[in-house]
Structure 1
Amino acid sequence: MTSTLLFGGTGAVGSHILSTLLGDSAVTAVHTISRRAPKSTGPTLQATVEADTTQWAARLKAIQPVPSTVFSSLGTTRAQAGGIANQWKIDHDLNVELARAAKEAGVRRFVFVSSAGTGGLVARMLPYSKMKRGVESTIRELGFETAIILRPGLIIADREVPHQGGPLLVGAARALGRWFGPSKGYDWWAQESEVIARAAVHAAKIAEEGKAPEKVWVLEQSDIVRLGRTEWKN
């Protein structure tokens, strides 16, 4: 991945994707577009701070040379957005717009951090799952050389703005991990943000080598743990 672009680089998972890319000597350029500056820095980072998200698609198309891989871990919560309608604008509409802009710009690979449960019947009923499922469907239809969709469970992370009920669940996952180890304690229902990030980068590198098992490669929770921890090589 000589050139990459990341959306959501200031979030729980995105910040780890960013630090992982910056620490990879094979990645010569790491572009980010975000509303505030990312915390990680490095000689390969080219950060664009743009508060107006309606300009992000144009900013993407202006990057030269065209990034070979675009990552999106972009998302918010209903509380942070101020309601489900505003959350939909970010989690669904903005991600869809950016995926389409990436395809139009000639990006070959698109990596999207979705959520567990989007492939089941619950996705037809819950607004959050419907948002993620809608983005997944768009990415499938766009026909990237490779599309990678990650479906993590509960994300174990210390968030700047905790999700409702999140600290309690994350605390429970960490406690179970201490008692039984990650494989028995939480790997099957929750994953660390760093592991999710590493899985995203690892999968993208496999795809760049032409070794992705499918044109649309869906990583469920067990796949995330395997690529992000078991088979991860720093």
Structure 2
Amino acid sequence: MTTAAVFGCTGLVGGHILATVLAHDAFASVYTISRRQPKAGESSPKLHATVEADSAKWASELSALSPFPSTVFSGLGTTRADAGGIANQWKIDHDLNVEVAEAAKAGGAKTFVFISSAGTRGLLSGSVPYSKMKVGVEDKVKELGFDQAIIVRPGLILGDREKSKPGGWFFNSLAHGLGSIARVLQDSWAVEGEYIAKAAVHAALLADQGKAPSKYWVLEQKDIIRLGRDEWKA
């Protein structure tokens, strides 16, 4: 049995990660550090939730955990609109993720799982701020040299959010409509947040068993579908 920490636990993917690890027998205890109490697993005896409104303190809160988690998941992320501009979004999507990764490494975490995004290393991605944020975190995680680093790169994330994104209803409906015609029409570009979470947890468990294909393991869309839906066993 292992101990995990989940960041971004009040978001769509992070909330599913939290629910998944709390329900899995492989995890003895689970820590969260967030601005508000997570809804997933509120009554679980495994959950140790820290509510801290100041995200600048999250890395130090992580460093203080005992026993220190062997696996750290980060689904931290926001939108430009919610953050109030690119500069503030960068502080969350890049800077905070880097701080958490550095604290995880310094504390002795063996596995670090980062929820990134598809297409961040495309031909024109170097001029797109969002892609630069994700690439910066990916590169830092690789540089830190965890025993196991797992980068998850989903396409469009489907699911119910507490705060809907512009066009969210349309794209969810479009993806599900195409999926009802042929699964491959959805799987090639969109995936449920639940499956992303299960793929992340599945990969972490495989890594703990020494079954990861490489020390720096990148899960693209097809890998997420395979690990999070097709091969997932609760």
Which string of whole-angstrom CA distances, capped at 9 and with x for unpartnered residues, describes residues 135-166 of structure 1?
A: 00000000000000000000001111122222
Question: Which residue of structure 1 aligns with residue 131 of structure 2?
Answer: 129
Which string of whole-angstrom CA distances, capped at 9 and with x for unpartnered residues, describes residues 63-85 of structure 1?
A: 11110100000000011001111
Question: Which residue of structure 1 aligns with residue 165 of structure 2?
Answer: 163
Which string of whole-angstrom CA distances, capped at 9 and with x for unpartnered residues, describes residues 195-221 of structure 1?
A: 000000000000001111011000000
Alpha-carbon distance between aligned partners in 1 of 2:90 and 2:168, rounded to the nearest angstrom:
20
Question: Which residue of structure 2 aligns with residue 27 of structure 1?
Answer: 27
Alpha-carbon distance between aligned partners in 1 of 2:143 and 2:9, rounded to the nearest angstrom:
25
- What amino acid is aligned across from residue 207 of structure 1 in structure 2? A
Secondary structure of the structure 1 residue equivalent to 2:48:
strand
Question: Which residue of structure 2 aligns with residue 146 of structure 1?
Answer: 148
Asked if 1:222 is matched to 2:227, the reply is no
From 108, 111, 119, give the equivalent of 1:117.
119
Asked if 1:201 is matched to 2:201, the reply is yes
Question: Which residue of structure 1 aligns with residue 176 of structure 2?
Answer: 174
Alpha-carbon distance between aligned partners in 2 of 1:15 and 1:85, rounded to the nearest angstrom:
25
- What amino acid is aligned across from residue 115 of structure 2 in structure 1? V
Secondary structure of the structure 2 residue equivalent to 1:4:
strand
Alignment identity in percent?
61
How far the C-alpha of 1:53 sits from its partner, in A, is: 0.6
Length-normalised TM-score, structure 1: 0.97
Alignment root-mean-square deviation, CA: 0.9
How far the C-alpha of 1:122 sits from its partner, in A, is: 2.6
Length-normalised TM-score, structure 2: 0.97
Question: Which residue of structure 2 aligns with residue 80 of structure 1?
Answer: 82
Secondary structure of the structure 2 residue equivalent to 1:13:
helix
Alpha-carbon distance between aligned partners in 2 of 1:10 and 1:187, rounded to the nearest angstrom:
25
117-126 or 93-102: which moved more?
A: 117-126
67-76 or 155-164: which moved more?
A: 155-164
Answer whether contact 1:122 1:129 (CA < 8 A) is retained.
no
How far the C-alpha of 1:179 sits from its partner, in A, is: 2.3
The answer for unaligned runs of 5 or more in structure 2 is none
How far the C-alpha of 1:186 sits from its partner, in A, is: 0.7
Question: Which residue of structure 2 aligns with residue 192 of structure 1?
Answer: 192
Runs of 4+ in 1 over 4 A off after TM superposition: none
Matches within 5 A, 1:85-96: 85-96=87-98
- What amino acid is aligned across from residue 65 of structure 2 in structure 1? I
- What amino acid is aligned across from residue 107 of structure 1 in structure 2? A
Alpha-carbon distance between aligned partners in 1 of 2:153 and 2:2, rounded to the nearest angstrom:
26
Answer whether contact 1:68 1:108 (CA < 8 A) is retained.
yes
The answer for unaligned runs of 5 or more in structure 1 is none
